[in-house]
Amino acid sequence: MSNIGSYEQRLKDFDWSISEKELGYKKGDNINIGWYCTDRICQMGNGDKLALIHQDHLGNVRNFTYNDIRQLSNTFAAFFVKLGLKPGERICIFMDRVPELYISFMGILKTGAIAQPLFSAFGDESLFTRLDNAKTSAILTQKKHLPKVRKILATLPELRHIIVIDAGDASLKEREISFDMEKEPRVDKFDVYPSTAETPSVLHYTSGTTGQPKGAQHVHYSLIGQYLTAKWVLDLQPDDIYWCNADPGWVTGTSYGIIGPWANGITQAVLDAGFNAEHWYAFIQKHKITVWYSAPTAIRLLMKEGIDLVRKFDLSSLRHLCSVGEPLNAEAVLWSKEAFGLMFHDTFWQTETGAIMITNFPGMPIKPGSMGKPFPGITATVVDPRNFEPVNNPGTVGLIAFRPGWPSMMRSYWNNPEVYKNKFKNGWYLSGDRASIDADGYFWFVGRDDDVINTGGHLVGPFEIESALLEHPAVAESAAIGKPDPVNMEVVKAFVALKPGYQPSDDLELEIMNFIRKKLSPLAMPQEIEFVKSLPKTRSGKIMRRLLRAQEWGEPIGDISTLEND
């Protein structure tokens, strides 16, 4: 029996107080995610239960019980307090998926500071942009990422502490301090910050069409949504061994790679290694994973390796599969049925929504390729982009919109209230994605409503790439778009016009690709560069990305009446 039981019945009697009651929370109480995910589980008598099974790329395994993560997060928290870090200050986590990432996240929240996780593959410029915008006070990192931090340190005066978790005998410089979690005396008692529902908790950066990335700011009350969606959608049950593929540099990796499973007192397994189909299956077999939350890009990579490889492993422990990041194509759903005897359940949500919004629930008939139906308590629709009124005809495409007010919704964009305000029209939060709803109430994803590129389930903003391209000495002007890709849905393609004196060449293309990879991230690196004489622009000089994208996708180019020299 699944946790959700009957979806239809849940719709009838749903109230978020279901989650509040299960967590023992009443309006006006203190609520601290760090405490709920560690101390509370221990108080329930589960201190000896495994919270984290961690395996690195060499196969070394480290286990942590709930009592371990309670004490170790206290130890982190006490250290932050000793450094003088105050509630509300931003503490960045810039690490690979090592145990310290997961545990320090809880430690930060216990102090009342705001956790700002960032993807460790970010280049120095991506890192700088986000630390500068958040005016971050401290960063936790590993020795291997220290060079990137050092490169930008001089221009970040607010960044007072660089905390290195594995410094060993490396010589540290000014503002740098070593903190070895395993060697510190454990702190058994820590006065957890008395945060309330609206106290800021997590700051996750996400990309938009224009401007630099924006920090979606969440609050401790988000726990109410993350706890219940993890329970009902991922169907986490007491004996499960759960594996979430997502890196906590992105929202899935915190909402469902840390908070959701630990608030439910579940054992989760983490594999800190790059993609390798054989290693992944061996990991599932070794740790007897029961619930697996993956992503379409990963599933499609597994498909490429074939079903024969699947058959070499005993994956019979698996009982429930979910997917997130980009639309899950019907072929992948059907393949998973053949490969694992189970269908992947697609889930739809965003950095801004903080928790799953539309999904295929356990027990609900899956229409392969569909996003599923809204979570109980979520009012979702598609609206007409002209008047922002709900579209009532089944099959008609509109903008996916939600009625604001769910617990895990972002509360603002950091230092960017105007952009936040623009996300709401006619009483709806606009997701920026397009879909239709069929006669049975299932949502069907169509695409983005803007120029943001969804590559491998991660959003990349064209403006950020174009700005970085202009910093290359050969580039006069540029445009970045998403081009279709069978594995990643989209990959970045850049159109580049060169400055006088530079000639297109394979060498220059590779040089520019690597330039962006190191500056921003591998995700932002153009996988193709097309050298052009000039870019199509409007009469006012704005580059018409829409035109380039339509040409790339073989779509109608639409109205080009404003095109310069048309």
Partner 1 sequence: MDDKEMKKMVLDYVKREYLEEGDDREITESTPLISGGIVDSFSMVSLKRFLEKKFSIAIPDADASPEAFDTVNSIVALVNRFIK
Q: Least Å distance between CB 447 and partner 1? A: 21
* SS3 state at 347: strand
| Residue 293: alpha-carbon gap to chain centroid | 13
Binding residue (CB under 8 A) for partner 1 from 70, 145, 218, 483: 145
When asked if residue 150 is in the footprint of partner 1 (CB under 8 A), the reply is: yes
The Cα–Cα gap between 409 and 203 comes to 12
Choices 379-387, 432-440, 510-518, 537-545 (CB under 8 A): range interacting with partner 1: 510-518
Six token digits for residue 144: 């291997």
335 beta partners: none
Q: Which of 13, 239, 418, 506 binds partner 1 (CB under 8 A)?
A: 506
Helix/strand/coil for 400: strand
Q: How far is the CB of 550 from partner 1 (least distance, A)?
A: 24
Contact 489, 326 (CB under 8 A): yes
State the nearest-atom distance from the C-beta of 280 to partner 1, in Å: 10
* DSSP notation for 101-158: HHHHHHHHHHHTPEEEE--TT--HHHHHHHHHHHT--EEEE-GGGHHHHHHHHTT-TT
Q: Judged by CB under 8 A, does residue 276 bind partner 1?
A: yes
Of 39, 68, 96, 464, the one binding partner 1 (CB under 8 A) is 96
Which structure tokens are listed for 303? Answer: 């498909």
Output the six-digit token pair for 15. Answer: 């109230």
The one segment of 85-93, 178-186, 203-211, 501-509 that binds partner 1 by CB under 8 A: 501-509
Beta-strand (E) ranges in 257-364? 267-272, 291-294, 320-323, 344-348, 358-359
Total residues interacting with partner 1, rule: CB under 8 A: 35
Site for partner 1 in 42-71 (CB under 8 A): 57
Nearest alpha carbon to residue 244 among 235, 255, 257, 260: 257
Site for partner 1 in 113-142 (CB under 8 A): 121
Q: Note whether 146 binds partner 1 by CB under 8 A.
A: yes
Length of the chain, please? 566
CB 554, min distance to partner 1, A: 20
> Is residue 168 a contact point for partner 1 (CB under 8 A)?
no
Residues 157, 140: Cα–Cα separation, whole Å: 16
What is the smallest separation between the CB atom of 527 and partner 1, expressed in angstroms?
Answer: 5
Task: Look up residue 163 and give its amino acid.
Answer: I
Question: Which residue from 18, 273, 446, 476 is in contact with partner 1, where contact means CB under 8 A?
Answer: 273
Please tell me the distance from the alpha carbon of residue 226 to that of residue 465, in angstroms, as a whole number. 32
Site for partner 1 in 374-403 (CB under 8 A): none
Among 63, 178, 212, 527, binds partner 1 (CB under 8 A): 527
From candidates 455, 459, 479, 547, binder to partner 1 by CB under 8 A: 455
The smaller minimum CB distance to partner 1, of residues 78 and 494, is found at: 494
Of the pair 436, 488, the CB lying nearest partner 1 is at 488
Tell me which DSSP letter residue 537 carries.
B
Tokens 């924006």, located at residue:
214
Q: How far from chain centre, in Å, is Cα 70?
A: 24
CB closer to partner 1 out of 164 and 358: 164
Cα separation, 402 vs 404, in Å, equals 6
Q: Which stretch binds partner 1 (CB under 8 A): 30-38, 84-92, 381-389, 506-514?
A: 506-514
- Phi and psi angles of residue 413, each rounded to the nearest 5 degrees, phi first: -100, 135
Per-residue x/- mask for partner 1, residues 328 to 367, rule CB under 8 A? ----------------------------------------
Angle at 350 between CA 449 and CA 112, to 5 degrees: 140
Does position 282 interact with partner 1 (CB under 8 A)? The reply is no
Cα–Cα dist 302/313, whole Å: 14
Residue number with CB closer to partner 1 (272 or 564): 272
Site string for partner 1, 410-449 (x = CB under 8 A): ----------------------------------------
Label residue 66 left, alpha or beta by phi (over 0 means left) and psi (-120 to 50 means alpha): alpha
Binding of partner 1 by 513 (CB under 8 A): yes
Q: Any contact of residue 530 with partner 1 (CB under 8 A)?
A: no
* Interface region with partner 1, contact rule CB under 8 A, candidates 26-34, 273-281, 316-324, 476-484: 273-281
Interface characters, 187-226, with partner 1 (x: CB under 8 A): ----------------------------------------
* Residues 356, 23: Cα–Cα separation, whole Å: 19
Kindly state whether residue 522 participates in binding partner 1, applying the rule CB under 8 A. Answer: yes
440 to each of 236, 367, 403, how far by Cα in Å?
A: 27, 10, 20
Tokens found for residue 488: 């990643």
The Cα–Cα gap between 441 and 7 comes to: 13
- For the window 296-315, what string marks contact with partner 1 as x by the rule CB under 8 A? -----x--xx----------
* Both tokens assigned to 157: 């005066």
* DSSP strand pairing (138-141 vs 114-117): unpaired
Residue 498 to residue 188: CA distance in whole angstroms: 61
Binds partner 1 by CB under 8 A, chosen from 272, 450, 477, 530: 272
Residue pair 382/359 in contact (Cβ under 8 Å)? The answer is no
CB of 512 to partner 1, least distance (A): 10
CB closer to partner 1, 368 vs 456: 456
Does 286 contact partner 1 by CB under 8 A?
no
542 binds partner 1 (CB under 8 A): no
Of 8-16, 42-50, 152-160, 266-274, the window that binds partner 1 (rule: CB under 8 A) is 266-274
Interacting residue ranges for partner 1, rule: CB under 8 A: 57, 96, 121, 144-148, 150, 272-279, 301, 304-305, 455-456, 488, 491, 506-507, 509-510, 513-514, 517, 522-523, 525, 527
